[in-house]
Structure 1
Amino acid sequence: MSMERRQLLTGIGGLAATSAAGCLDRITGARQGTTAWYDFTDAQERAFERALEEFNDGRDDPLNAEAPAEMEKELETALPAEQGPETFNWAHDWIGRYHEQEFVYDASDDLEIDLEETYTENALEAVQWEGAVYGLPFAIETVSLMYNPEYVDEPPETLSDMVAIMEEHHDPANNRYGLSMPAVDPYFPSAWLQAFGGSLFDTESEELRIEDDAFVEGVELLEESIWPYVPDDPGYASQIPVFSDGNAPFAINGPWELEGFREAGVDAQVAPLPDVEGGSPTPFTGVKVWYFTSQLESADETALETTIEWAEWYTTNEQAIIDNAEIQGLIPVHQDYAGNEDADLGEDVQTFAETVEMGTPLPTHPKVDQIWDPLESGLERVFNGDESAAQAMESTAQNIRDRWE
C-alpha cells in the first residue's frame, strides 16, 4: 500500500522534533529504556499521550515514545541493527512480511491475557501467523463515505445517487469537485475495485487475481463513476484540502481524517458506502496493532515485561478504548465493546462499523507487499487515460510476477 498518507500523518505538529531526537539517540547509541514507536494524527496523539502518562505513572521502567517520520523505512534499518523499538503501532498487514524478515517476536508464552476471551475472532486472527502471536489488537478501521451537510441533505443510498450529487457540484474551473479521494492508492478505492467479487490475491493458491474479469470490472467502475469527479492530482496531499476547504460535497477517507476535517470548519458526517448496482462495495479493513518486535529477543526481563504490560493494558483499558472510538472513530475489538449496543461510543463509530461489515481484511501474505506499488502505477495509467482497465491490469500483473521471481 502507498506510504504517502502515513508519511504525511507522522510529519505534522510536534512529531518531527520527537523523531529527530529519537533518530539521534539511535545513531549515537544513547537509546535507553523500553521504547514504543507510534504513528498518529494530532488528535490521536493527544489521546495516546494521555494513555501513556497514565500507564507510566509510578513505573520504575516507563515506556518511552517516539514518532519516526517514516515508520517503515526506519524499522527496516533499525531492527536488523538491534536499535529499533520494542513495540510500535500499525495496521496488521505487515504481519506476514515481518514474520519472514524476522522483525517480530512471538509473545505467546509471555502474555497473561486470555486472548480468545478478550478480543474478537477477526482481530485475533489478524495478529497471528503460523501460530505465533506478534502483537495485540486495539481497534479496526476502514474508509467510508463522508459528506458535507452544507451540500448534501441526506447521504446517497446508491452510487447512482452519489454520482448525481457529484455531477451537480463538480466545477473544476472554479476549484470545486464532486469528490475528495486519494484516487489510485488501492486502499482508498478498494470498495469499488472489489465490488463485483474481485480480489487482489488468493491466499490459498497464492495466485494474483487482478486480471480477473471481476476485478477489471471494478477498475472500470472507478474509471466511469468515481475518477471523473476528483482533482487531476490523485495524491493524498492534493485530495484532502478539497474537502477540508469546503470545495466538495463528498470525501472517501478514514477515521484518522475526521477530526481534522471538523477542525478545518467542515461539519463532516460519516455514512456507509452506497450500494452498487450488480455488486456490493467491499473496502479493505485494517486491524490496528501494537506489534512485538525482534528487539525483544535480546531484551532484558524488565523491557519485555514493560512491553507486554503496555500492550495488554492499552488494548483493554476502558478509557483508551473510549478515546479511540470517540476521538478517532476507531471500532473496538475488545469483546466487551465490539458490537455492544449498550456501549455508547458515538454515531461515527457505529457508521464506520457498518462499513467494516461490508469489508474484507487487508491480506497479510508476504507476497502481497509486492502488489501495492505496481497496482497503484497501473491504476494511475487508467486514471490518466493512458491504458484501458484490462490493459493496465495485464501489464501490472506481469510486473508483479516479475518482482515475485
Structure 2
Amino acid sequence: MALQRRKLLAGIGGMATLTAAGCLGNEDEGTTLWHDFNDGEQETLEEQVAAFNEDREEELNVEQVPEIVDQLDTAIPSGEGPETFAWAHDWVGTYYDRDFVYDASDDLSIDLDETFTEAAADAARWEGGVYGLPYAAETTTLMYNEDLVDEPPETLDEMVDIMEEHHDPENNTYGLSCPPADPYFISAFTQAFGGRFFDSETEDTRIDDDEFIEGVELLRDRIWPYVPEDPNYDVQVPVFADGNAPFAINGPWEVGGFRDGGVDVTVTSFPEIDGGDPTPYTGIQLWYFTSNLADAPDEELETAVEWAEYHSTSEDAILSNAEDHGFIPVHQKYADDDDLGEDVAAFAETVGMGVQMPAHERMDQVWNPVEDGLEQAFNGQASPAEAMETAAEEIRGRWD
C-alpha cells in the first residue's frame, strides 16, 4: 500500500523512550513527541532529546508509535495524542483541512526565510500559517552493492544490462530491490517524461496524461521484470540487504541497516533515461505542531516550539543527522556544505533532479488508486493507459 511508503518516510529518526504501555500521549503526560522512526537512528534521537531536556523543568516525552497514521486520526480529534510529531511535509494540507495542526507563526523565535532553504520554508507553510519546522530533505535514489557492481551505471540501458546479468529468481537472486508499485519509490520513472501524479494549480491528477502513461510503460518494461514477484516493501528490502541484488532504490533510512548487515553499499543518483529525465518525488521532514497546542499550558507550547527550533537549527543535530544517516540539511548554513559525506552529496544530487511532493489535501486520495493501477498494468490485467484511466476516474470520484 502507498501508506507503507508514507510510513517509511518517517524513518529518519529512531526508537526512543516508550511511556507506559498502551498509553499514547494523553493530556496528563506533559509535552509529548510522537514518531514512527526506524530503529537505525535510535541512539542519535535519544542523544538529541537528552541534550534538549538537560536543565529543563518541562521535559519533552518521546513515544514510538506504530501505525502512527491511524493513531493520530483517533487521538487528535479527541484532544489526546502528541503536541508535536515528525513526518514528511505532504500531510500539511490534509491536516490543516481537518484542524489537526496549530499555527505557530506568533510563537516562533526564528525567521523561516532567513533560516531555511526556500523549499523547506515553503513546506512548513499552508494558507498563511506555519504548521511545523523543517529539519531535513529526503528522497529515494539508486544504491548499488560494490561487491557486485564496479561503478554506477550512467544510463538506464547500462543498469538494465547489469540487472539482467544478476537476475536469477530460481536461485533467489534479482536485478533490483524496490517496491515497484509504490508511487513514491518509482516516481523517478513515472514522471521521467513530464507526467505528474497531481497538479496543484489545476487541483487535478495527471496520471491519465500521455506523458505519465509513457513513464508507466517504461517502468513495466525496464524495471518490473527484475524485482521479486511480491511487490511488498518487507519482501523487497531483504533481497538487497542479503546481498542478492546489485541495486536497490531506497531512502536514507535504510542505508545504515544495509551497511550494518554487511552490504558494501554506495549511494548514487538515477541513471540517464533516453528521451526523459529521472524526476523523483522529494520530501521535507517537519516537526508538526498539533492542534493540542491551541489550549495547552504555556510551558507545553514553549517546549514543543523550542524542541522544533532546537532540532532544526542545532549544529550538532544537523551534522550528526547528515554525517551518520545521510539526511540532507535544509538549514541555509549547511545546505550546500560539501564536507558532509558522499551519502549526503548523492541524495542531494537526486533531490536536485526531483519535484517536491504536493501538500494539497487532495493528494491523499491519489496514492492507493495509482498503486492498484500500477499492479494491474504490471500483471497484465490492463494496459498502462487503461489502468491509469481507471485510477484517475476513481481518484476524481473520491474528490466529488
**TM-score, length basis structure 1:** 0.95
**Identity over aligned pairs, percent:** 58
CA distance in structure 1 between the aligned counterparts of 2:27 and 2:121, rounded to whole angstroms? 36
- Contact 1:192 1:219 (8 Å CA) reproduced: yes
Q: Is structure 2 residue 292 aligned with structure 1 residue 300?
A: no
Change in 2 beyond 3 A, CA 1:336/1:30? closer
1:46 maps to 43
Q: Is structure 2 residue 399 aligned with structure 1 residue 404?
A: yes
* Correspondences of 1:94-243 after superposition (within 5 Å): 94-243=91-240
AA aligned to 1:118 is T
RMSD (Å), alpha carbons: 1.8
- 3-state secondary structure, aligned to 1:66: strand
**CA deviation after TM superposition for structure 1 residue 335, in Å:** 0.4
Give unmatched runs, 5+ long, in structure 1.
Answer: none
CA distance in structure 2 between the aligned counterparts of 1:255 and 1:379, rounded to whole angstroms? 25
Q: Is structure 2 residue 262 aligned with structure 1 residue 262?
A: no
**CA deviation after TM superposition for structure 1 residue 130, in Å:** 1.1
CA distance in structure 2 between the aligned counterparts of 1:15 and 1:276, rounded to whole angstroms? 38
CA distance in structure 2 between the aligned counterparts of 1:102 and 1:185, rounded to whole angstroms? 28
- Contact 1:283 1:359 (8 Å CA) reproduced: yes
- Contact 1:184 1:380 (8 Å CA) reproduced: yes
2:278 maps to 281
Deviating above 3 A after TM superposition, structure 1's stretches of 4 or more consecutive aligned residues are 5-11, 14-17
CA distance in structure 1 between the aligned counterparts of 2:16 and 2:44, rounded to whole angstroms? 18
CA distance in structure 2 between the aligned counterparts of 1:38 and 1:98, rounded to whole angstroms? 16
- Contact 1:370 1:400 (8 Å CA) reproduced: yes
AA aligned to 1:156 is P
**CA deviation after TM superposition for structure 1 residue 116, in Å:** 1.2
- Contact 1:25 1:31 (8 Å CA) reproduced: no
2:386 to 379, 387, 391: 391
Change in 2 beyond 3 A, CA 1:17/1:138? closer
2:4 maps to 4
1:23 maps to 22
CA distance in structure 2 between the aligned counterparts of 1:3 and 1:367, rounded to whole angstroms? 15
Q: Is structure 2 residue 349 aligned with structure 1 residue 350?
A: no
2:371 maps to 376
**CA deviation after TM superposition for structure 1 residue 125, in Å:** 0.4
- 3-state secondary structure, aligned to 1:23: coil
Q: Is structure 2 residue 30 aligned with structure 1 residue 33?
A: yes
Deviations 1:182-226 (A, max 9, x none): 111100000000000000111111122000000000000000100
**TM-score, length basis structure 2:** 0.96
- Contact 1:139 1:330 (8 Å CA) reproduced: yes
1:246 maps to 243
CA distance in structure 2 between the aligned counterparts of 1:16 and 1:133, rounded to whole angstroms? 26
Deviations 1:81-116 (A, max 9, x none): 111100000000000000000000000001011211
Give unmatched runs, 5+ long, in structure 2.
Answer: none
CA distance in structure 1 between the aligned counterparts of 2:273 and 2:157, rounded to whole angstroms? 8
Change in 2 beyond 3 A, CA 1:305/1:45? same
Deviations 1:41-93 (A, max 9, x none): 22222111100000001100000000111111100100001111000000000
**CA deviation after TM superposition for structure 1 residue 382, in Å:** 1.1
**CA deviation after TM superposition for structure 1 residue 132, in Å:** 0.4
AA aligned to 2:174 is Y
1:75 maps to 72
1:363 maps to 358
1:85 to 60, 82, 85: 82
Instruction: Tell me how many residue pairs correspond in the alignment.
Output: 399
- Contact 1:6 1:39 (8 Å CA) reproduced: no
1:317 maps to 314
Greater Cα shift, 32-41 or 102-111: 32-41
